[in-house]
């Protein structure tokens, strides 16, 4: 945080306004989006649009089979660049198109990647524009497989993926488990587009300001069981914590996410349910970490007794649940934190935002607290955006107006990197 005391300065507001307007982490990056012929090709439209909105210059290359599922027109409209399909198409340039594309790419992302394109790439076959271009390029290649689970599990596909990953050093974005288009259930669904975007950002972002730092992040809302069917929960979607983890990973941090929401990422994700589960996992990892960022909404109370059977309707109109206090994870870790560790807490408040947040900052011995007013409509819980006030233990205070959670996360990563570098420079006492 740059300044102390003053909450509003027009200079800062201008900077934040331009941060929102210019939020383009993939600016100056040229990404070739290769689309092969599977039903997941329709998701390439979303992906193309997200990559472009994040600032990338995106050029789509479709295989002939991909054109059975989506049109070049959709992709050229979404990328705002011509889409490429023909291996022997006429170009404005004298150079063959596959060489032209191969040379300008910072990254080639193939999503979805069918068993067929994976097999071609593994054996060096180049009988269409996409496979020829990959062979001709020296750019990093990322592959997001999408296919029927049996096709994915087939030894031929497994061998081909192994070649791509371990011999060619392509990055495989693992497919997810679930029901695939043909109705089969298993692993084979293409990774979520948000997850693909996060992997791309992690690969391309240059400011590796958290390189070598271990950052532990919590996300989501804990669920406290009442009986085998019911639980006490809260409205947290986990989006802020996941955005934090993606942003920190993008800067080279060694990220561990402890989350109540399942996500598929290249960094380790520990899925937990209750506050006690979260406490156990976070406590086990804390000592080895440089920073802890607690975005999770941890239930303060849990049912004192958990019924092993489903609680039945009784004659009585009322049911009384006895609750007992959960551990306060931040409070406990704030007490044992070393001087070379940074802890960032979050505070969602419905009243007296600043005084409640600053009390929590002091009480829990935090370095920073990120406070938001949950009564403001359309932001916060479940939304992609939030507006927050960041308070520092050193008295610093900063207002971030409404912006994407990812932009807030990037800003917090800047602050965290600054704090960690101050610690590194401080003389050893
Ligand atoms: N937190 C925690 N363990 C708890 C409760 C909260 O670690 N049992 C953390 C949250 O992850 C958050 C910060 O403490 O980073 C503040 O959480 P919040 O729910 O706003 O505050 P509480 O301390 O629970 O106080 P209250 O609910 O009374 O506002």
Every domain of the chain and the residues it spans: 26-207, 209-302+320-423
Residue 2's pLDDT is 39
374 CB-contact burial (10 Å; exposed 0-12 / middle 13-18 / buried 19+):
middle
Superfamily of domain 26-207 in CATH is Flavin prenyltransferase-like (3.40.50.1950)
Measured CA to CA, the distance from residue 384 to residue 403 in angstroms comes to 8
283 lines ligand 1 (CB under 6 A): no
Would you place residue 209 in the very low, low, confident or very high pLDDT band (cuts 50, 70, 90)? confident
Q: Rounded mean pLDDT of the chain?
A: 89
Q: Is-same-fold flag (26-207; 209-302+320-423)?
A: yes
Residue 1's pLDDT is 41
Closest-CA residue, ligand 1 atom 9, reads 330
Compute the distance from residue 300 Cα to the ligand 1 centre, in Å.
Answer: 7
Would you place residue 5 in the very low, low, confident or very high pLDDT band (cuts 50, 70, 90)? very low
Would you place residue 86 in the very low, low, confident or very high pLDDT band (cuts 50, 70, 90)? confident
Closest-CA residue, ligand 1 atom 4, reads 328
- Does the domain spanning 209-302+320-423 belong to CATH 3.40.50.10300? yes
Measured CA to CA, the distance from residue 53 to residue 148 in angstroms comes to 31
Using the atom order of ligand 1, give the atom closest to the CA of residue 296.
11
Reference 83, options 32, 126, 36, 43; nearest CA is: 32
Using the atom order of ligand 1, give the atom closest to the CA of residue 332.
7
371 lines ligand 1 (CB under 6 A): no
Q: What end-to-end distance do the CA atoms of the chain give, in Å?
A: 24
Reference 301, options 280, 321, 320, 319; nearest CA is: 321
Compute the distance from residue 260 Cα to the ligand 1 centre, in Å.
Answer: 16
Residue 45 annotated among the catalytic residues of the structure: no
Which one is catalytic: 45, 85, 126, 182?
182
What lies within 8 Å, CB to CB, of 74 at 6+ separation is 45
- pTM for this entry: 0.66
């Amino acid at each position: 945080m740059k300044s102390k005391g003053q909450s509003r300065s027009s200079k800062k507001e201008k900077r934040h306004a331009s941060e929102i307007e210019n939020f383009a982490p993939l600016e100056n990056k040229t990404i070739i989006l290769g689309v092969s012929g599977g039903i997941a090709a329709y998701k390439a439209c979303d992906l193309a649009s997200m990559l472009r909105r994040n600032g990338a210059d995106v050029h789509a290359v479709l295989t002939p089979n991909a054109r059975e599922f989506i049109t070049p027109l959709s992709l050229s409209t979404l990328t705002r660049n011509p889409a490429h399909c023909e291996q022997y198409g006429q170009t404005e340039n004298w150079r063959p198109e596959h060489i032209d594309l191969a040379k300008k790419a910072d990254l080639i992302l193939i999503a979805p990647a069918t068993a067929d394109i994976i097999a071609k790439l593994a054996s060096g076959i180049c009988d269409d524009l996409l496979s020829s271009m990959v062979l001709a390029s020296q750019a990093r290649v990322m592959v997001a497989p999408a296919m029927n689970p049996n096709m994915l599990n087939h030894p031929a596909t497994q061998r081909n993926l192994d070649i791509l990953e371990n011999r060619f050093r392509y990055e495989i974005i693992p497919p997810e488990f679930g029901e695939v288009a043909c109705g089969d259930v298993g692993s084979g669904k293409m990774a979520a587009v948000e997850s693909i975007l996060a992997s791309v950002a992690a690969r391309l972002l240059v400011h590796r300001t958290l390189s070598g730092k271990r950052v532990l992040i919590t996300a989501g809302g804990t669920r406290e069981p009442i009986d085998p069917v019911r639980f006490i929960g809260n409205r947290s979607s986990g989006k802020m914590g996941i955005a934090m983890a993606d942003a920190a990973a993008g800067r080279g941090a060694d990220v561990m996410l402890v989350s109540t929401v399942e996500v598929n990422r290249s960094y380790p994700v520990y899925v937990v349910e209750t506050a006690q589960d979260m406490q156990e996992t976070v406590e086990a990892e804390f000592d080895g970490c440089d920073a802890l960022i607690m975005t999770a909404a941890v239930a303060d109370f849990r049912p004192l007794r958990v019924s092993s059977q489903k609680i039945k309707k009784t004659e009585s109109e009322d049911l009384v649940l006895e609750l007992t206090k959960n551990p306060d994870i931040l409070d406990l870790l704030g007490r044992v934190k070393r001087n070379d560790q940074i802890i960032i807490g979050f505070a969602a408040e419905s009243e007296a935002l600043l005084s409640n947040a600053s009390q929590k900052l002091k009480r829990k011995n935090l370095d920073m607290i990120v406070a938001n007013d949950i009564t403001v409509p359309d932001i916060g819980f479940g939304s992609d955006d939030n507006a927050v006030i960041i308070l520092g233990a050193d008295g610093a205070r900063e207002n971030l107006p409404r912006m994407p959670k990812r932009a807030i996360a990037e800003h917090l990563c800047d602050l965290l990197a600054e704090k960690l570098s101050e610690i590194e420079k401080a003389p050893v006492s």
